[in-house]
Structure 1
């Protein structure tokens, strides 16, 4: 399917952007950190500009994926972005020891389980846009869910706080994807409809809010706590938006059993990847240097 191609292109482009921008940032003197001169230095580096180019490709590809396919299919595919970033980072630095230290079993588990789970679920159907009344209900429920998560997170510390904020960020990114899908439907009706509709502006608000929550989740605790909640939570909540807002359908009945098994394998694989020492560097790279991509609902 065309949307699968664009979703894979998005994940690959995000991973490439992260690796290229981190490689450029690593060449900048440490004393320029948090200074305007950092950007001035990076702009002069071709590898950083190449990374920005991949950010643009990722943004366009994700919009195309959401415009041509169901959210329940597109968003879960982005789960492979983290393992792909690890592999590309090791290759980019020509580090054979890093390649050997990659959690290959976990990477394979996540990739195979993701493919099998989507093949079994077979997300299908979908309308291009949701009614404003449906959006109103969805936004109220989302706001209440986010309030509960953030409220609970402020009363705890450590890993639990990171997990709760990671889930809150996942919900924000899923909402951003749903809004983007509707915005692409507005674009099909013309530029006037696109810029006069509220959806595209809500994309920006939801994206910025999600990025803020993600940064707090990463600060609160380890990747083992936040990353699985972010990765799997985004996929599951995106599916719920697809079903409730855009009339998408999944296989149910006894098909739910292998889907649950695949989901469990993905969660276990994500946890093992997050435990990898290489994941800390790769994830910091994605969240710090490729933040423009996140604003387009990573």
Structure 2
């Protein structure tokens, strides 16, 4: 089952990258002054590129739900990070530019650290039952964290606004994975008395809030920066909840824990390199030094009195 779950998580990462790329293109078509408002929502719904992104995210949700239902969160959720290098590749191909050495190093670090992390957790992590008390605790902490970020982002513009909303969305998506685990366990395990409807409603609310925050972040910054923050906070939130609240890593020894921490650091380093490479790619080129021929040409073209 773990192998199937990992395959579904990989498919989810591909769909997520494609959906992010398409939705970013659609949002930028209708956004005004780097912001997205409710009155532009009808225009967004009619944007074909954005709708294709929504369709891709449907595939993301289906593959991710299957993966979460079959394996522990600490195994499948980190694979979401692969959507970041993928969206960087999609963006480079669409713009016709080549990836620099910084971006290539970031992709290698992200993929390599993630591969070792998943391989270790797949062997040692154990899926545990999610209780109502654990769900409430995780929801309260993540909701408080997201509200603080939303308040900060609402008072900022540009890059700071983009980062705040993208991080808040990533944290909410991490909570969504926990709620999915709670609901799927109730459906799959017949001994449990019915479906936890409160968790289902919380799941829908967290997903819708995260989806809107992602659209606002797209309107304020580049797609790969949004994906970098969202895909980093999504698995980080899920891993922290899975390890501390759900106890999925209770049987892992100190040596394996240290190795996982190092792998996580390598992945974060790769994500940072990718984000920095994007920023460097869009820095305005330096002004061309003025030569005597340029100066003479301007002098000749100047109007004479």
Corresponding residue number in structure 2 for 1:83: 85
Q: Alpha-carbon deviation of 1:177?
A: 1.0
Match of 2:241 in 1: 241
Aligned to 1:57: 59
Corresponding position of 1:114: 114
Distance 1:52 1:140 in 2: 28
TM-score normalized by the length of structure 1:
0.71
Match of 1:131? 131
Residue correspondences, number: 268
Distance in 2 of aligned mates of 1:20 and 1:214: 13
> What residue is the counterpart of 1:259 in the other structure?
260
Q: State how far apart, in whole Å, the 1-side matches of 2:41 and 2:231 are.
A: 31
CA distance in 1, matches of 2:23, 2:225: 26
| 1:86 and 1:278 in contact (8 A); partners too | no
- Specify every segment of 5 or more residues in structure 1 that has no aligned partner in the other structure, as ranges: 282-298
CA separation in 1, counterparts of 2:61 and 2:44? 24
Give the aligned CA root-mean-square deviation in angstroms.
Answer: 4.1
Question: Is the Cα–Cα contact under 8 Å of residues 149 and 168 in structure 1 kept in the other structure?
Answer: yes
Taking the TM superposition and a 5 Å limit, the aligned residue runs for 1:114-263 are 114-122=114-122, 124-127=125-128, 129-150=129-150, 163-188=163-188, 193-194=194-195, 197-215=197-215, 228-249=228-249, 251-263=252-264
Question: Would you say the 8 A contact 1:224–1:275 is kept in 2?
Answer: no
The 1:54/1:234 distance shift into structure 2, 3 A limit, reads closer
User: Which stretches of structure 1, 4 residues or more, deviate above 6 A after TM superposition?
Assistant: 47-50, 154-158, 219-226, 278-281
Residue 97 of structure 2 aligns to a residue whose secondary structure is helix
Which residue of 1, 17, 39 maps to 1:15? 17
Separation (CA, whole Å) in 1 of partners of 2:66 and 2:90: 24
Please give the alpha-carbon distance, in whole angstroms, between the structure 1 residues aligned to 2:52 and 2:166: 29
Q: Tell me the TM-score normalised to structure 2 length.
A: 0.69
Partner deviation per Cα, 1:137-192 (whole Å, 9 max, x = no partner)? 333333344455555666777766655544333221111111112122233368x9
